[in-house]
């Protein structure tokens, strides 16, 4: 199978989630991703459990497994002179280097962009940091929750003011990390194309998680820039046409979208309230937005009278977009998700088999399981750098690997 990134080698010095997620995406597309980890310890994410794939307290947490398929793991101590030399040699044989250390850390070991660019002018060097390489916060550490708070994402998420439990709320998933990984993979692909089609040279990519969080506000932020008015929190409601909202039925929650004129008419007909289609308070998109609270109060009372299954069947028959609010087991039982192959089983070195979340880009490269710590150290040093078994033993004895 020919893959889009066959022949591209990525030296992955990153840890935790955002940058490893980016390199995983590139590995899915066929890149040879060499994951560099600390000897004996590895990527911090290996310890982010339970749950663990292996024994309790092992080093393959579910968190780690989520962002490290299609990679080879080697262990190198970059803080040792011999380890730093190995990384320089590997960078000379690579197309891309990805790292997420604090600004300036790797430069102290001769592993910053300028040093490695001089060694390999074609190298694309991507730094993923909390706040970027410059500015008053550049030296700070940061994590997803910090960026959800600082970017404003929390301010537009959560229960509306005046309701029980009102207040800002973090998105459950580490959403800024995931978005930063997507931005990083896109930036790297663009830099590779520019190198190969235009300049012949690599470039430096400075990606900030805070920047990604702000960019993710999209129309919420743009509406603020246009109007000067911050968006109110809408809980489980949308910000566009009405309704786009979760509703509590007699036994469970469903989510309904009926923002267009045709959808609104089909919705109220399916609910047995066709007169609402022509009610001047609800008849147009603008009227429903202006009377949002009344629309939702009216629909709340109707949905509460029947089970979720009853309303879902009626709305699906009327071609009104609707879904149950699924717990995790129902997600993977969903026939559409099963059909699309979003859960895949791959062979694993010690576990025999492990289930992973598939890449939604279809098709991608065949999957290999996330590697054991240092599983490919000898293989990579022999294959790429020509080290002999005696060389490797000496490096291991000296603590460089």
**Bridge-based pairing state of the strands 244-248 and 253-257:** antiparallel
Q: Quote the distance between the C-alpha of residue 221 and its chain's center.
A: 21
Distance CA 341, CA 334 (A): 11
Distance CA 161, CA 150 (A): 20
> Nearest 5 degrees, angle CA 59-CA 65-CA 71?
100
The residue from 177, 251, 347, 391 that is catalytic is 177
Q: How far apart are the first and last CA of the chain?
A: 34
- Helix-, strand-, coil-residue percentages of the chain, each rounded to 5: 40, 15, 45
How many C-beta atoms surround the C-beta of residue 203 within 10 A? 18
**Bridge-based pairing state of the strands 204-208 and 244-248:** unpaired
Q: Is 355 a catalytic residue?
A: no
Distance CA 147, CA 130 (A): 8
Contact present, 31 and 9 (Cβ < 8 Å): yes
**Bridge-based pairing state of the strands 9-13 and 32-37:** parallel
Which amino acids are annotated catalytic? 177
């Amino acid at each position: 199978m020919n893959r889009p990134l066959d022949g591209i080698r990525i030296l992955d010095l990153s840890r935790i989630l955002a940058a490893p997620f980016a390199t995983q995406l590139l590995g899915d597309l066929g890149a040879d991703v060499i994951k560099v980890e600390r000897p004996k310890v590895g990527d911090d994410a290996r310890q982010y459990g339970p749950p663990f794939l292996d024994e309790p307290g092992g080093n393959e947490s579910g968190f780690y497994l989520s962002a490290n398929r299609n990679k080879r793991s080697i262990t190198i101590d970059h803080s040792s002179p011999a380890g730093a030399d190995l990384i320089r040699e590997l960078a000379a044989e690579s197309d891309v280097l990805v790292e997420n250390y604090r600004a300036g850390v790797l430069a102290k070991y001769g592993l910053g962009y300028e040093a490695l660019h001089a060694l390999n002018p074609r190298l694309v060097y991507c730094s993923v940091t909390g706040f970027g390489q410059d500015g008053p916060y550049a030296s700070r550490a940061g994590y997803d929750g910090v960026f959800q708070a600082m970017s404003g994402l929390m301010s537009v998420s959560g229960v509306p003011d005046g309701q029980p439990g009102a207040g800002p709320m973090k998105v459950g998933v580490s959403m800024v990390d995931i978005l930063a990984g997507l931005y990083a993979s896109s930036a790297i692909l663009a830099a590779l194309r520019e190198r190969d089609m235009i300049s012949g040279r690599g470039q430096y990519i400075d990606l900030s998680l805070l920047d990604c969080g702000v960019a993710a506000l999209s129309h919420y932020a743009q509406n603020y820039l246009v109007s000067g008015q911050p968006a109110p929190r809408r809980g489980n409601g949308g910000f566009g046409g009405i309704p786009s909202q979760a509703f509590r039925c007699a036994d469970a929650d469903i989510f309904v979208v009926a923002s267009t004129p045709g959808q609104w008419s089909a919705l109220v007909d399916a609910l047995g309230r066709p007169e609402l289609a022509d009610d001047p308070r609800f008849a147009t998109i603008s009227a429903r937005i202006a009377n949002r609270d009344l629309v939702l109060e009216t629909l709340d009372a109707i949905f509460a009278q029947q089970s979720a299954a009853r309303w879902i069947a009626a709305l699906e028959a009327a071609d009104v977009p609707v879904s149950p609010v699924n717990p995790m087991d129902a997600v993977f039982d969903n026939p559409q998700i099963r059909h699309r192959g979003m859960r895949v089983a791959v062979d694993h070195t010690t576990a025999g088999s492990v289930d992973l979340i598939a890449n939604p880009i279809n098709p991608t490269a065949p999957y290999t399981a996330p590697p054991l710590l240092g599983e490919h150290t000898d293989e990579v040093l022999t294959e790429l750098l020509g080290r002999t078994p005696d060389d490797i033993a000496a490096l291991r004895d000296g603590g460089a690997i």
